[in-house]
Amino acid sequence: MRDLKQSRAVQTRKKILREAAQLFARKGFHDTKVDELIKAAEVTSGAFFHHFKGKDDLAIAVIDHHMEQRGRTLDRIEKGLPEPDGSDPLELAFRRLDAACEMVVRRRNRKGGCLIGNLATALSDTRPEFRKRLGECFDEMAAEFEINLAEAAADRDLDVDSREIARYIVSVIEGAIMLSRTQRDLGLVQQQIQRLKEDIRRSFQAEVPR
């Protein structure tokens, strides 16, 4: 019986997180009310506050959950992509970039765009605690590329800032998502990522790999 109750509690928490993520993405953090969250998740007020102290606590949990799910999704998509030719770490970075592009394509029917980008726009200027966590999210995204970029630079004896290039990649992805939403053209994401690859390749062509 105890295991059953724990299982139900876990499922209730996941349902609240899922519905909250959708509402935050569509309406924004400020315009989403706790009553709406409770109604959308089809839970009682008591159940909601059993899992979360309030909307702020929920939002942090949504961010954490989103990043975990994002990582798993990218890993799964990347495993299904063709293996890169050769062993150039730069191509491994591009493979992760292709996975990110494919993830955006698969989510094309979702409303609201990038949850992390939306929350960063809404909360970073006024809420230091959210700015810190959201900044960490973008750093986590950049870290997915940084190791392979650093290895590619080392192979070429290049003195480049791999961390800044990784951040550049993230900024292009996030900007492309917003641009594609406003223009109603998902092809813009694919075009911008292709241009990004070309730009990065030029930056890594100063030396031939060892």
Please name each of the domains of the chain with its CATH number: 60-203 (1.10.357.10)
Helix axes 34-41, 2-27, angle to 10 degrees: 130
What Å distances lie between residue 85 and 54, 89, 90, 148, 196, CA to CA?
50, 11, 11, 15, 19
| Tokens representing residue 12 in the block | 């209730």
pTM: 0.87
Measured distance CA(150)–CA(159) in Å, rounded = 9
Measured distance CA(194)–CA(105) in Å, rounded = 14
Contact 142, 97 (CB under 8 A): no
pLDDT of residue 1: 54
Measured distance CA(196)–CA(193) in Å, rounded = 5
Q: Phi and psi at residue 54, in whole multiples of 5°?
A: 175, -165
What Å distances lie between residue 106 and 22, 73, 180, CA to CA?
16, 11, 14
pLDDT of residue 205: 85
| Tokens representing residue 56 in the block | 């702020």
Q: Checking phi first, is residue 207 left (phi over 0); if not, alpha (psi -120 to 50) or beta?
A: beta
Q: Smallest Cα–Cα separation from 186: which of 116, 113, 91, 86? A: 113
| Tokens representing residue 7 in the block | 């299982």
pLDDT of residue 84: 84
Q: What is the chain's pLDDT, residue by residue, as a tens digit (210 residues)?
A: 555 566 888 999 999 999 999 999 888 999 999 999 999 999 999 999 999 999 999 999 999 999 999 999 999 999 999 988 778 999 999 999 999 999 998 888 777 778 999 999 999 999 999 999 999 999 999 999 999 999 999 999 999 999 999 999 999 999 999 899 889 898 999 999 999 999 999 999 854 444
- The count of C-alpha atoms lying within 13 angstroms of the C-alpha of 161, restricted to the half-sphere facing its C-beta, is 6
Measured distance CA(162)–CA(165) in Å, rounded = 5
pLDDT of residue 2: 55
Residue 139, helix vs strand vs coil: helix
pLDDT of residue 206: 55
Instruction: Give the N- to C-terminal CA distance of the chain in Å, as an integer.
Output: 62
pLDDT of residue 62: 97
Burial group, residue 189, by CB count within 10 angstroms (0-12, 13-18, 19+): buried
Cα 205–84–99 angle (5° rounding)?
A: 100
pLDDT of residue 208: 42
pLDDT of residue 110: 78
